[in-house]
Chains A and B, each alone.
Chain A
Amino acid sequence: MEASRLNNPIKVHELMVQARTLEERQIRMFKANEGYFWIGGPGEEAFQIPLGLQIHKGEGRDFDFLHLHYRSAGIILAMGAAQPIDFIRQMKNTASDPFSGGRNFGNHASVRKFNIVPITSTIETQFLTAIGGGIAHRRQGGKGITITTSGEAGTAEGDFASALVWSSRPKAELPMLMIVTNNGWGISTDASTQHGEKRVADRATAFGIRNRTINGLDVDESFSAISEAMAYVRTERKPFLLEVMVSRMYGHSSASGGNLAVDEADPLAIYEKKLETQGVMTRKAMDEVRERSTQEMLEIWKKVRQEPLPDPSTIYDNIFYGEKGRSW
């Protein structure tokens, strides 16, 4: 099975640590006034790395398209679609930021070479744009599918229902893997006060869409669930809704302080305990990985701090494709 080949614990651990230390560095940048708004994915690594490793990656319709939520750095790192320095540059909004040239918030990646469409702050609109990806993939056939992710609070938007409706039209089903990362919160609002449905995934049932809710704090459960869901979407060319229970370790964003929430589960700690118990890695080896990665992020930051901010004269560039300057 491909999933078991990709699920290399040492590699997965390394990527989880990389994703975590990248977020920690960005939070420190915010706190040191070296970056503005921070929002990201600590607490989702046990799901994000297994997803990123299983993407059929490349450019164009033969490969997966990703319409992602703003907590997705781990997915992108695991794909190898971008490096930590790319994220640090966007957080510092330098001219060298490859995602947006200093125009957008941190973790709002965009990588055309890997079919990662620009991540936007607008909640749930990615479930709408993913519909078009699904239509293109349906026509294309082959292996490529459209993947979209969002939080659970955002599923209250009509856009979520739109994706269910459009992806399940009779004789026009779309190869879409729709993923809801359920961290139990929408900023300050407890999910249990806003959702009458038992599980978000249940909403797919009415449309005949296969669905499942999984523990996204567990690497191996995530790996196999994603693998199964993907295999179904890739071969049946039909939609799947996967609800992934995750945690939100540093609160919603920098707007709520960006502080460690002690009552939230830590999937990295859970995984490390498992690796240690199974004798896959020693505590010492894991600590070394963490220290090395933390140091690496620090070095990246030191480098990026020196880089220039965008030139204000470029503000009119790229309003239209390939066009520079103010045209009117």
Chain B
Amino acid sequence: MATMAQAIRMALHYGEENLGVTDIFGEDVGPPLGGVFTVTQGLKNAWNSPLDERGIIGAAIGLAFSGDRCVAEIQFADYIYNTIDMLKLAGNQCWASNGQWNLPMTVMTPVGSGIRGAIYHSHSFDSMMTHIPGWKIVMPSNALDAYGLMIACLKDPNPTMFLKPKALLRVKGKQQIPGEPELTREGEKALKEMIDAPLGDRTKWKPKWPAGLTDYTVPLGLARTVCEGTDLTVVSYGRTLPLCEEAANQLREQNEISAEVIDLRSLWPYDWKTLAASIRKTGRVLFVNEDTEVTNFGEHLLRRTVEDLFYELHARPRLLAGTATPGVGLADPLEAACVPQLDTILKAIREVASEQS
């Protein structure tokens, strides 16, 4: 019953031991803190960098040029913006050298709302990031996928961006990660005692990693059909995915709507095959994410839907996304109004499912 944070931590540990990860670094990533969301606690190659985001991405690129494999963290995606040209640089080095150089590096950063993070701890980054070719980009919605996607990133020879939905980092997984203790209360407690740093003095603390961790991999570019349905397709990822799943369950239980929910997981490359097959089947689609709605990645998926599947649609394809406001407001009603919630998702699903052409 690892949380997403623990799952990522275990994947990074597996990477250090088996996949040649030499450096895991960023602001407060090393001891004593092990990351502001505890994702890097106890990792042997984790270290604290200067408070310098451009330096962090530059160092990652340089390490990758040198043939080392690193994971660099930007503490919050809100602070990744001053590195955009470094991300662009990382993304174009293979293309610019016509295939000579590759950069085996992973950048991870917490994204999105859900922790009352106000204007500078709530940004999404999926739309910006998908504007930067040359990266593979993932965003998990549960602990098991977080583990498997991280392993996939660590095996890839290209720059990979691992977006961590911060609202889900403390959510416990419902599926067992191969090697983690039993999904019972005792198992959960055991894992915590093994790999969570104690409060207070940690100078003598060492984690005890579960012995049987594997290279369980979620291949990049593969979506997951969360639940099957016939009335419409709902495509989401990250924080809004569990909300879409819950909405679909409610509507199914009420015998109202049968929604097929797809977790995109990889934003680039993305699994158009799975999406197209589902949209063809249902004839209706709703894309849901919480990034600002203008020039949103979901708009690209809408374009693809319109261009490839227009004559197979029974209703206008729709996007439910965050408001085009300069930030996510702090007060409860403001945050709720800025990004999709269960009620707005339910409403959007009903609209798309009931529209008559």
Chain A interface (Cβ < 8 Å from any Cβ of B): 60-61, 65, 67, 97, 99-101, 103-104, 108, 110-112, 117-118, 120, 122, 125, 127-137, 139, 146, 158-159, 162, 165-166, 169, 317-322, 327-328
A132 touches which of B63, B94, B158 (Cβ 8 Å): B63
| A60, closest chain B residue (CB) | B67
Smallest beta-carbon distance B258→chain A, Å: 29
What's the Cα separation between A125 and B57 when bound, in Å? 10
Interface residue from B22, B54, B59 paired with A139 (Cβ < 8 Å): B22
**Residue B218 CB within 8 A of the other chain:** no
- Contact in complex: B62, A159 (CB < 8 Å): no
Q: Please, which residues of chain B bring their CB within 8 A of the CB of A162?
A: 50, 52, 54-55, 58
Once the chains bind, are A110 and B97 in contact (CB under 8 Å)?
Answer: yes
Interface residues of B, CB < 8 Å — how many? Answer: 41
Q: 13 pairs across A/B with beta carbons < 8 Å?
A: A108-B96, A120-B96, A131-B58, A132-B64, A135-B23, A139-B22, A165-B55, A317-B98, A317-B99, A318-B95, A319-B133, A322-B102, A322-B157
B270: CB under 8 A from chain A?
Answer: yes
Minimum Cβ distance to chain A for residue B155 (Å): 12
A327 — nearest CB in chain B belongs to which residue?
Answer: B269
- Looking across the interface, which residue of chain B has its beta carbon closest to that of A146? B62
Known: A118-B96, A128-B55, A166-B55. A65 touches B66 (CB 8 A): yes
Return A85 CB to nearest CB of chain B, in Å.
16
A130: B residues at CB distance < 8 A: 58, 62
Question: Measured between C-beta atoms, what is the minimum distance from A237 to chain B in Å?
Answer: 15
Check if B216 is an interface residue, CB within 8 A of chain A. Answer: no
* Residue in chain A with minimal CB distance to B304: A328
Contact across chains for A110 and B96 when beta carbons are under 8 A apart: yes
At the interface, yes or no: B60 with Cβ under 8 Å from chain A? yes
Given contacts A60-B67, A112-B97, A165-B50, 10 further A-B contacts (CB under 8 A): A65-B65, A104-B96, A110-B97, A118-B97, A125-B58, A125-B89, A128-B86, A165-B55, A166-B55, A319-B134
Q: Given the known inter-chain contacts A128-B57, A319-B134, A328-B270, please indicate yes or no for A67 contacting B95, CB distance below 8 A.
A: no
Cβ A321 vs Cβ B58 within 8 A: no
Nearest 4 A/B pairs, CB to CB: A132-B62, A128-B58, A101-B98, A136-B66
CB distance A117 to B65 under 8 Å?
A: yes
Contacting A at CB under 8 A, from B190-236, are none
* Contact A136 B94, CB 8 Å, known A166-B55, A318-B99: no
Which single residue of chain A is at the shortest CB-CB distance from B136?
A320
Question: How many whole Å from B277's CB to the nearest CB in chain A?
Answer: 16
**A-chain residues with CB within 8 Å of residue B99 when the two chains form the complex:** 101, 317-318, 321-322
Min Cβ gap A96→B in Å is: 11
Task: Indicate if B93 sits at the interface (CB-CB under 8 A).
Answer: yes
Specify which of B68, B89, B272 is in contact with A120 (CB 8 Å cutoff). Answer: B89
B100 at the A/B interface (Cβ < 8 Å)? Answer: yes
Considering the chains assembled together, what is the distance between the CA atoms of A328 and B102 in angstroms?
Answer: 20
- In the complex, what residues of A have CB within 8 A of residue B22's CB? 139
Say whether B320 faces chain A, with CB atoms less than 8 Å apart: no
**Is there an interface contact between B61 and A136, defined as CB atoms closer than 8 Å?**
no
Which of A110, A131, A133, A159: most chain B CB closer than 10 A?
A131
Tell whether, in the assembled complex, residue A321 and residue B157 are in contact, meaning their CB atoms are under 8 Å apart.
Answer: yes
Chain B residues lying within 8 Å of A120, measured Cβ to Cβ, are 89, 96
Q: Tell me if B101 and A135 are in contact (CB < 8 A).
A: no
Task: Point out the residue from B101, B157, B272 that lies within 8 Å of A118, measured CB to CB.
Answer: B101
A61–B61 Cα gap in the complex (Å)? 14
Structural contact, A158 and B54, CB atoms closer than 8 A: yes
The A-contacting residues of B in range 44-102, CB under 8 angstroms, are: 49-50, 52, 54-55, 57-68, 70, 85-86, 89, 93-102
With the chains together, A175 CA to B96 CA distance in Å? Answer: 27
Shortest Cβ gap from A92 to chain B (Å): 15
Q: Would you call A133 and B66 a contact (CB within 8 A)?
A: yes
* CA distance in complex: A129, B89 (Å): 10
Cα-based distance from A13 to B157 in the complex (angstroms):
42
Distance to closest chain A CB from B345 (angstroms): 27
- How many angstroms from the CA of A280 to the CA of B78 in the assembled complex? 62
- Contacting residues, chain A, for B57 (C-beta < 8 A): 128
B93 surroundings in chain A (CB, below 8 A): 117-118
Contact of A125 among B50, B65, B85, B157 (CB under 8 A): B85
Chain A contacts of B61 at CB under 8 A?
Answer: 128-129, 132
Q: Is the CB of B55 within 8 A of A61?
A: no
- Whether A321 pairs with B102 at a CB distance below 8 angstroms is yes
Minimum CB–CB distance from A122 to chain B (whole Å) comes to: 6
Q: Are the C-beta atoms of B55 and A131 separated by less than 8 Å?
A: yes
Provide the residues of chain A in CB contact with B62, threshold 8 Å: 65, 67, 128-136, 146
Select B52's contact among A97, A118, A136, A165, beta carbons within 8 Å. Answer: A165
- Find the A residue at minimum CB distance from B105: A132
Residues of A within 8 A of B134 (CB): 319-320
CA–CA, A165 and B56, complex, Å: 12
The CA of A132 and the CA of B90, in the complex, are separated in Å by 13
A100 touches B98 (CB 8 A): yes
A134 closest partner in B (C-beta): B62
Closest to B85 in A: A122
Nearest B-chain residue to A328, judged by Cβ: B269
Inter-chain contacts of B102 with A (CB < 8 A): 321-322
Q: In the bound complex, how far is the Cα of B49 from the Cα of A213, in angstroms?
A: 30
| Contact present for B96 and A129 (CB under 8 Å) | no
Q: Is the CB of B158 within 8 A of A320?
A: yes
**A101-B99 Cα distance, complex, nearest whole Å:** 9
Indicate if the CB atoms of B54 and A128 lie closer than 8 Å: yes
How far is A183 from B355 in the complex, measured between Cα atoms in Å? 67
Closest B residue, CB atoms, query A112? B100
Distance in angstroms between the alpha carbons of A320 and B97 in the assembled complex: 11
Q: How far is the CA of A85 from the CA of B30 in the complex (A)?
A: 48
Least CB distance, A158 to chain B, in whole angstroms: 7
Cα distance A302–B59 when bound, in Å? Answer: 42
Q: How near does chain A come to B315, taking the closest CB pair, in angstroms?
A: 25
Select from chain B the residue with minimum beta-carbon distance to A140.
B66
Contact digits for B156-178, partner A, Cβ 8 Å, 1 yes 0 no: 01100000000000000000000
How far does the alpha carbon of A100 sit from the alpha carbon of B96 in the complex, in Å?
5
Complex: A18 Cα to B121 Cα, angstroms: 55
